[in-house]
Amino acid sequence: MTRMRSLLIAIGGWLLCLGAAADVALASPKERLFVVNQEDATITVIDAAAQEATATIPVAAAPASIAAAQETGELFVTHPEAGQVSVVDSAKLAVWRTFKIGGAPFGIAVDPAGRLLVTDWNEHCVRVLDGRSGEILGRIEVGKSPAHIVAGADRAYVANRESDSVSVVDLATLEVSETVAVGRAPFAIGLSPDEAHVLVGNVRSSDMSVIDTRDLKAVATVKTGSLPYGVALQPSGERVTVSNQQSGTLSILARDGWRLMHTARVGSYPEGVAVSRDGRHAFVANWFSDDVSVVDLESGRETQRINVGKGPRMVLLLPQL
Amino acid sequence: MRRSLFLMLFGLLASFAAAPSRAHGPTPQKALEKITIAKPPAEVWAAVGAFSKIDKWHPGVEKSSGGDNAPGSERTITLKSGGDLVEGLDEYNAQEMSFGYRLSKENIEAFPVSFYTATIAVRPAEGGSEVEWSGRFYRADTSNFPPDNLNDQAAVAAVEGFFKQGLEGLKAKLEGAK
């Protein structure tokens, strides 16, 4: 009986592998957008190709940021008010465990080793968690009120909102190797796919700092709209999108020369932004108007508005496993 | 005995160190107030659109002073209830009759909010105009255990109250004018 069952599991696993391989060969799998709604404590799931909401996942109170483990399809959602991280199964669309880590966890990233890097707004540190057990592996002191964080192959970059700087964390030693001065009140942070540039949205100076990762210096400051709160790049790295909360717009910039290509009018108080894998669309969470704007990056126009839960802040795109 | 005294002292010091984090916090709140005014939009905008002259129509503002309507300008408002707030103009769109501004210097004793951004807009509406005032803000004490006077509810009550009082004052002033 037991032997029979393990044989079945083995065959099932093999079929799954075949299925995954076929998917890659035939067509790219569907992409889904996960929208974190802080006010009504839900995640709205959107079919990115159809541009429509397909599910709602209830989570604990006041969720803020989201990151994914690409391999397992697990989603990690921070709750700064409750000192916890919810773990969401993106296949079952449900929370299946909670990591109670204390403090005020805000920004989150998953590193290549599957560890969670979680900023703490009030304790001015990054906690390092085992992505499977939730065990706290370490604590890294960074600047004041660290907001968002992004992880590359060997380093993570943290935007320190109250220190006007970016902390560079060496992922091998889990130590800050460098601190780079940027504009005023850096909040959102993005890493180009080639890892050559780190892009930081500075809320108070209404501009974007460009950090060259070779010498870890800010090499350009690009004017954005008012109160830039979200940064996302095309997977090709050619275009950078910045959501401007006070202006209610999305700036679309060319990485070549940092030229402003378009300014798209979106919803009210936009924040989180993500770009589809084909590079055609940006999805922007509009915190005040409780919806997501879809912006065509070629024409620079909003083409769709999708209703979501209340107070959407961050968004994440993930291919369906 | 001495040890417990020491522990108490230590606890007291630790609570001081942890106490009110006044940086802009992680969970924003929202407020939205609207009012219709039986006057043409241009007339309403003439009053609302003068960034540093809010004292001319807001009953809760004792006096205000500052720069013109260019982004980057600052105004200082003195509340009737006491205390000053310094605000900076971010966006000004005369054509669309709207502007956006933010709190530049907090004063949580006078107004229990650590940071806010707000937008005020005038639109044509049936019978005259509609004025919409929206804000995004953070409670005064952004730690996870704020006292009642510095929590989310206190912040929401303060901002909603300020918007509502202002819009009612604006309506009364403009509709009362002959």
pLDDT bucket at B22, cuts 50 / 70 / 90? very low
Residue ranges of the domains in chain B?
29-175
Q: Is the pLDDT of residue A2 over 50?
A: no
pLDDT band of A19, cuts 50, 70, 90: very low
Express as a percent the part of chain A with pLDDT over 90: 88
Q: Report yes or no: A35 and A285 within 8 Å, Cβ to Cβ.
A: yes
DSSP assignment string, A199-268: EEEETTTTEEEEEETTTTEEEEEEE-SSSEEEEEE-TTSSEEEEEETTTTEEEEEETTTTEEEEEEE-SS
Given an 8 Å threshold on Cβ–Cβ distance, is A83 in contact with B144? yes
Q: What angle do CA B163, B164, B170 make, to 5 degrees?
A: 90
Residue B24: predicted pLDDT: 59
- Contact between residue B35 and residue B131 where contact means Cβ atoms under 8 Å apart: yes
Sheet holding A259-265, edge to edge: A228-233, A239-244, A249-254, A259-265
Report the distance separating Cα A42 and Cα B70, nearest Å. 40
Q: What is the value of ipTM here, to two decimals? A: 0.81
pLDDT at A13: 40
- Is it the case that residue A196 has pLDDT exceeding 50? yes
Q: How much is the mean pLDDT over chain A?
A: 92
Interchain proximity A226–B90, CB inside 8 Å: yes
What's the rounded Cα separation, in Å, for the pair B105 and A256? 37
Nearest CA in chain B to A270: B136
Residue A4 has pLDDT above 50, yes or no: no
Query: Where is B169: in which H helix or E strand?
Result: helix B152-176
pLDDT digits (tens, 9 = 90+) for A273-289: 999 999 999 999 999 99
**How confident is the model over A290-310, as a mean pLDDT?**
98
User: Nearest-CA neighbor of B80 among B143, B15, B165?
Assistant: B165
Mean pLDDT for A127-138 is: 97
Of A121, A162, A227, the CB nearest to B90: A227
Banded pLDDT at B60 (limits 50, 70, 90): very high
Determine the pLDDT at residue A306: 98
Helices of type H across chain A: 2-26
The pLDDT score that the predictor gives to residue B142 is 87
β partners of residue A286:
A270, A291
Separation CA B122–CA B49 (nearest Å) = 9
- Which whole number is the average pLDDT over A68-95? 96
Q: What pLDDT, on a 0 to 100 scale, did the predictor assign at position B143?
A: 87
Of the pLDDT bands very low, low, confident and very high (cuts 50, 70, 90), residue B144 is confident
Whether the model clears a pTM of 0.90, i.e. scores above it, the answer is no
Predicted confidence (pLDDT) per residue in A213-228, tens digit: 999 999 999 999 999 9
> Which of B 56-115 lie inside 8 A of A, CB atoms?
71, 90-91, 100, 102
Task: Give the whole-angstrom CA distance, residue A289 versus residue A273.
Answer: 15
Residue B117 to residue A245, Cβ atoms within 8 A? yes
Least confident span in A193-207, A240-254, B18-32: B18-32
For residue A41, the chain B residues in CB contact (below 8 A) are: none
Instruction: Return the pLDDT at A172.
Output: 98
% of residues, chain A, pLDDT over 70: 91
In this predicted structure, the answer to whether residue A151 has a pLDDT above a threshold of 50 is yes
pLDDT in tens, A167-178: 999 999 999 999
* Res A20 pLDDT > 50: no
SS3 readout for B89-148: EEEEECCCCEEEEEEEECCCCCCCEEEEEEEEEEEEECCEEEEEEEEEEEECCCCCCCCH
Per-residue pLDDT tens digits for B74-113? 999 999 999 999 999 999 999 999 999 999 988 999 999 9
Q: What gap in Å lies between CA B161 and CA B142, rounded to an integer?
A: 21
> A interface mutation test: which of B86, B87, B91, B98 has the most A CBs within 10 A?
B91
Fold of B29-175: Alpha-D-Glucose-1,6-Bisphosphate; Chain A, domain 4 (3.30.530)
pLDDT the model gives residue B12: 45
Position A11 pLDDT exceeds 80: no
User: Between B152-176 and B41-48, two packed helices, what is the crossing angle to 10 degrees?
Assistant: 120
pLDDT of residue B26: 72
Q: Count the Cβ atoms, other than its own, within 10 Å of residue A144.
A: 15
Cα B79 from Cα B109, distance rounded (Å): 12
Q: Do A64 and B28 touch (CB under 8 A)?
A: no
Residue A157 to residue A218: CA distance in whole angstroms = 13
Among A80, A145, A268, select the one facing B27 at the smallest CB separation.
Answer: A80
Q: What's the pLDDT at A183?
A: 97
| Residues of chain B by 3-state class (helix, strand, coil), percent to 5 | 35, 35, 30
Q: Do B100 and A62 touch (CB under 8 A)?
A: no
- The predicted pLDDT at position B177 comes to 67
Q: How many CA atoms lie within 13 A of A70 on its CB side?
A: 9
